[in-house]
Structure 1
């Protein structure tokens, strides 16, 4: 009578082990698949060196059309933010290019001696770890007659576990806004010291608030646009708040500890 019982116990252990193995497999999160999308528009009825251009290097997510749409809309809004057109961004690449060429034609008519207008939009992987995919969206828009074009940047943080876009508020623990700002101020001071700047620089270019944050293995990267906290020549400043400085401030999910 004992032998069958022993056999059942062994079988039960094997069955349990098999179930646990299946559970572990189910817990494995596959990296989000993405692929490149490139588009290049050139204005018509113009001399080659005077033709305005729109160049796009975006990403698409075959598993998630919703993420593909969000990325497209965010890039278009980023580029529209530095044009003189409507405050409502275009919803499609073709529509943006058409609107841009309409404005560029007016630029060329008024200022024919200047180089052609151009717009660039790009999405690229900034980092990928801990089931998080961080995309950096960038745009650069130049209109004929300007001293220089204006670059813009924005992070898009994606949770690969459920394919949703993570907001700054999602990453921060409730009620920790002031603590985050204090940590950011400290990171800003380190950055100022690295630039070898003084209090006069800070007085002219004070630290401002931003929600443009990317969680990385080293800590949170906080990135600003040109003119936000420094002159154009400095570019787009990146401040790093290390993981240990964010304990108790950030949700553990977004800290690499």
Structure 2
């Protein structure tokens, strides 16, 4: 009947209008969502190297205090780049120890060169501050960035320092050592680390009882995974005198079963 068709059409049009309105609302909310799809894609990492250099003025070039910092900057990874830069800034201050008086590489250079100008009085030493941040390794979605610094203010040698920053590319966040260890397994983990330390001592000449008492085992938060297992990094003076340099202790994969989360273990070991 002719009177039925207009009623049906009106209802249909009303329903379609509601659906279109809801769809429009959904489209407006999409940019505000923080879904995994919004995270940077995980795949081949593209990067470029950036260099920052400063030198003291009013002195012969070969005698001037200098600052030279090179870092790898990753495309589409602003959070990672911020974390690396923040660690680099902290590390470049105070003999490699984390400091927070400067908030940029420019401020780091200003402070260092000002101190160098005062330190040069009565000294012929050429002060140097260098830094570098670069990718060291990648296992699946876990990227390890190595951050190095070196400070020389005269004397027999300078002070090097290294930090390993581990970054989950899928979650786009840093992975501290504590998050790789299963809950309740911290004691066993450090027991295995002590065993790795004893194995290292047994391979070093001159590590007698006096040495072991003077340089006891200590914990480190610097770590990375490699083909052999989990590696703990210790900077100079942590486990021995300067001449030994930095020390790496490896906990084999076979000793990590049941201690670290399965996602970090290789399929076959």
Under a length normalisation based on structure 2, what TM-score does the superposition of the two structures give? 0.79
Q: Which 4+ runs in 1 deviate beyond 3 A? A: none
Aligned length: 226
* Cα offset, 1:49, TM superposition: 2.2
* Cα offset, 1:214, TM superposition: 0.9
Give yes or no for contact 2:194–2:217 (8 Å, CA) kept in 1. Answer: yes
Instruction: Measure, in 2, the Cα distance between the counterparts of 1:150 and 1:181.
Output: 28
Which of these residues, 258, 261, 264, is aligned with residue 254 of structure 1?
264
* Cα offset, 1:83, TM superposition: 7.2
Give yes or no for contact 1:126–1:134 (8 Å, CA) kept in 2. Answer: yes
Q: Aligned residue for 2:204?
A: 195
The secondary structure found in structure 2 opposite 1:226 is coil
* Cα offset, 1:69, TM superposition: 1.3
Question: 1:194-223: CA deviations, max 9, x gaps?
Answer: 113322221111111111111223211101
Q: CA RMSD in A?
A: 1.9
Instruction: Measure, in 1, the Cα distance between the counterparts of 2:183 and 2:118.
Output: 49
The secondary structure found in structure 2 opposite 1:187 is helix
The secondary structure found in structure 2 opposite 1:228 is coil
Which of these residues, 84, 96, 109, is aligned with residue 97 of structure 1?
109
Instruction: Measure, in 2, the Cα distance between the counterparts of 1:83 and 1:108.
Output: 21
Matched, 1:222 2:235: no
* Cα offset, 1:183, TM superposition: 0.4
Between 195-204 and 172-181, report the one with greater CA deviation. Answer: 195-204
Which of these residues, 94, 107, 114, is aligned with residue 119 of structure 2?
107
* Cα offset, 1:136, TM superposition: 1.1
Give yes or no for contact 1:76–1:89 (8 Å, CA) kept in 2. Answer: no
Give yes or no for contact 2:151–2:160 (8 Å, CA) kept in 1. Answer: yes
Q: Aligned residue for 1:241?
A: 251
* Cα offset, 1:81, TM superposition: 3.1
Give yes or no for contact 1:183–1:245 (8 Å, CA) kept in 2. Answer: yes
Instruction: Measure, in 1, the Cα distance between the counterparts of 2:212 and 2:163.
Output: 24
Q: Aligned residue for 1:149?
A: 158
Q: Aligned residue for 2:15?
A: none
Q: Which runs of 5+ in 1 are unaligned?
A: 1-27
* Cα offset, 1:117, TM superposition: 0.6
* Cα offset, 1:162, TM superposition: 2.4
The secondary structure found in structure 2 opposite 1:80 is coil
